[in-house]
Structure formats: structure tokens, C-alpha cells
Structure 1
């Protein structure tokens, strides 16, 4: 169970006209007693967003806007559920950053470690690590020259992530490492993963690899054919295109009332485990797409491996080293 602190432990620090000096001074004066911060901005694109993130990077913090706060007074009664859903997402986001798990998997995933990889071309590559019960473990970031992760960077980062987390991996059998790459997988990245596996083998750690490319920008849409009529598909639908490729609708009707969900294009680049087939890969990506707090009515939902890596890249690009999951 989770309980909010009493009102005597909740403090309000105001700011106006873009001047956050008072907030900054209060935070650094009472930093040792601040457990989390919720800050209210004027809009979604408020330039103070990243300034707050920079100041508060050592403490879990969650952003909302004044529009959400005032929404309660603007919506008709039959639309009030939209407000409550927004508040629920907001609270789940803050609690998630504080280490609370609002969502649980019904059973363990088949792999041992799940790594998400994303890049900001010419700037930074981010890696996030999830375990087989969906817990967020940590992240790493590295500078890159282009769109791909260089071979040595991929090798060294994967080795570091595994060696720093030996306590959560099995020692009596090969480690099953599953890597989700946002977008295309480059030959240098595959080579870097192979070199990481070889290096770990020299340290008496056997690793089997499953490497999956996950593309969110695709021209495809999935429909349900009902009595010769085309209708939006429900979430969880998978269309198999080949032995190694398919489309996954991670969102859909009836959660999405207008428009069509955008499916993910999944391609298995390498799979060392015959007991971990395409159906297993797709199912787990679908499960992982529900473990972050983002609103359920989004037209596209990425698994947390990629979603966290993508969000970290935004902050890493601005040299903001935030604490906890980045959403």
C-alpha cells in the first residue's frame, strides 16, 4: 500500500514570470529533506521544463501543467473521467520515479536481462536495463558520432551493464540477454555485441543473445475485418510478415476512440535461443509496453526498454543526469 505524506510534510514553493530563484534557493537549503518534487508549468512546451530538470536532477520529480490543474473546473460531468485519468497518470509517474511499482507482470519474462538502445544521431547513445520481472535497474549513456553505436562503445557498455549487475543474473546457466534496438541495427552494433559475448565468456560468463529491431515509423496500419467492414484493431494484435518479422499493435480500439493505432515493426536480427521464438518475443514486447506510466490512449506504445532509452537521450543530450526512470 502507498500513502501520501500528511499535509504538514507537503511544501508549496511558488515562482512567477520565469523567475525560479526562490525554488532553487529553497531546494538547496532543504535538499536533504526533499524526497520528491511535483512542479506545475504554464504549458507543455514551457522552457522552464529543462531548467527544473537540471536543478532537481538529484531527486525524483514530475511535471504537470496548469491546464491539468484547472481541467477539473472546465470539463462537463460526463467528461470528468478524463481529468481523473490524467491525475492517475500523474501520480503513477511520480510514484514510479520514487521506486514504487504501480504495475506488475503476472509472471517472470523468459529472458534474464533486457537492454534498450537508442541514439540521438551525432550526440548520444543511451542504454537502459530492465530485469525479468520488469524492474528498472539502471542506464548508461555514451557519445556517438553518427546514427550508429560504434563497435567498441556497444561492446564496452554491454559488458559494463552486465558486470555491474551480477547479483541479479543466474550463475548456473547461460545468461539470456535480450537487446531492443530503436530503429535499424547496424553491422558495427552486431559486431560489438558479439565481442561483448566473447569477452564475457573469457570471464566464465556464457551469454545467449536475442537482438530485435523495433521501428515506430512505419506506413502500416492494422484493421479488423468484420462482416466485410474494416474496423480498428484491438491492442495486442500481431501480424506475422515472415519467420523473423511482424507488426504489433501495442495500442488500439476501444482505448483509442479516434484515428488508428500505429503498429510497431519488429524484426528479429539474431536469436540464439530456439526456446524463445517470435511469438515469445512479440508477447514480451507487448507486456513491456504497459509497464511505463504513459497514457493508455496513446496511438503508439513502445516497450519500456526503448521508451526509457528514448527519454533518457533527451536529457543526456542536454547533459542533465536525472535520477530514476525518465518519464
Structure 2
């Protein structure tokens, strides 16, 4: 291995590590606020990439019908909750807005020549289609079990992941896809030319991370989510809605996941079932952070990307084993340094 090869591998490692860092932060965000390990996070990545590829190929965007169906189920549940009670006009108005939004997405997807619009609008439309899936997922599958044991929430999360993989096969088919790069230019840095897509990935990843930091440190809603993460019961007593916190965190996780899919779609071919491995590598970074520390999780995720890249050069057959073996020493270290208290039955 010479310096040029090392720099190329480092470029790939940092690119992948930036995506893993975003997913690790999403996993930590959702877990600390809701106690849910979001196993289906990888499906947001693959759905985002495959939806973008579908738009660019001019094929029908079938995902929009899933959005409409889930929105109608959500609306039906909202109306059912108010039967026998005094109808809340604000909630009914919000229900009508959600249905109208889903119908608008159906109209746009079936009338506008999406393959001919600029790539920036294609990416924006992909976000508009997929990000609402996050709050809908929480409302339909997790909100009724919000106070259940963590193991129950984990089982439901795995079930949702399996269901979404099947939905992905139905909507996108078994073929892989990739999208057009954002630009074909590059930046020469010594003996290595940085790909434009690599620069996009790093810049957008840093922007999202900084935005999350500012949101949680400077805004009222961010502080409310932090309060829910620190003490759910105390936050509820202070008037912070755990339902709002759950939907908000799932929306942020969906935004980050779909954005990650759009960013890496020009770099690698993704399939309907590629999301689990991608999110699992983000989970390794989250474990390095102890499912608590955001900075350590981000650094750990970048380290995972670098180790994966160099493993492909030295031992490509065992690169997945090498990456996932990283989790073992951290689990052993945390097991030996943490103090466990048995719950009284």
C-alpha cells in the first residue's frame, strides 16, 4: 500500500463514516427519547435512494400509494379516538391537512413529469414523500405501546423492519439502483482527487449534525426533547407531550435516513434489503458511544467507516466480520465498568 492508495481508502472511509455517523446519531436520538432501538432506520436510507432512482428513471412512484394508505389509517384512528367525546376541531383540522397532503403527493407523482425536473427538486420531492413515514410509523406501531417494556418495543421494531423489507420488494422490485451524481466535478488534493459526491456527503453530514446540535441546545422544542430523554415522567408533569416527542424524533430520524440515502445513491448500488447492514454499522457507532454520547458515537461511526475501507484492501472477504467484531470489546468494557442493579420483582 502506498500513500495514494491510503488516501483513496481514507476518502472512502470518511464518506461512509459520515453516513454511519448520521445514522448513529439518529439511533441515539430515538433511543434516548423513546427507548426504541429503531431497527427500520436503514429502510429509510434504501427507500430514499430507490425512490430517487425511480423518479429519475421516469417510472411510476408506487411509494406514494403507501403514504396515502398509512395516512388514511392514521386519520381513521384519530377520528375513532374522538368518537363519544367532544370533537376537537384543531385535531380534526390537522387530520384534514394530513389527508390533503397525502392526496397532493399522489397528484404530483401521477401528473408531473418528475424525470424532467431539476435534481434538487427531485431530492426535495423524495424528502416530502418519505419523511412523513417516520411520524406515521410511530403513530401506528409504537405509540400504542409507548409505556411497554423495552424488550417489547425491540420486538415490534424488528417486526416493522421485516415488514418494510417486504414492502420494499413489492414497491421497488429485486433489482438494485443508483442515481445520477449531483455534479461531475472534483477537487484535487495533492495526489488524490476528491469526488464531488464525497464533498457533498461530508458537507451535508456536517450541516445536519450542526443543525441537530443547534436545535437541541438553542430551541424550545429541542430542549423539550432533551427533557424527555433525561426524565420522561418529569417532562410529562411539566406539560411536555411524549406523543409529540416520539413523532418529532421519528421525523428527524426519517429526515436523516432519507437524506443519507439520497447522498449515497450515486456512490453505491442499493437494493430493497440493503438498509439493515447500513444501519447496523451506524448501530456499532452508537454502541461505541454507549447509546448516550453523541460526539463519541459520531467519532466511533467515522472510525467504523475507516476500518471498513482499509479492511476491503487487506481482507475484503472478512470486512463485515472485522467491522462487527468491533462491538465486542466495547460491550465487554462497558459491562465491566458499569454498575448494574437488579430490579425487585
Is TM more than 0.5 here? Answer: no
- TM-score (normalised: structure 1): 0.25
Q: Which structure shows the bigger proportion of residues in helix conformation?
A: 2
Structure with greater proportional strand content: 1
**Structure 2 length as normaliser, TM-score?**
0.24
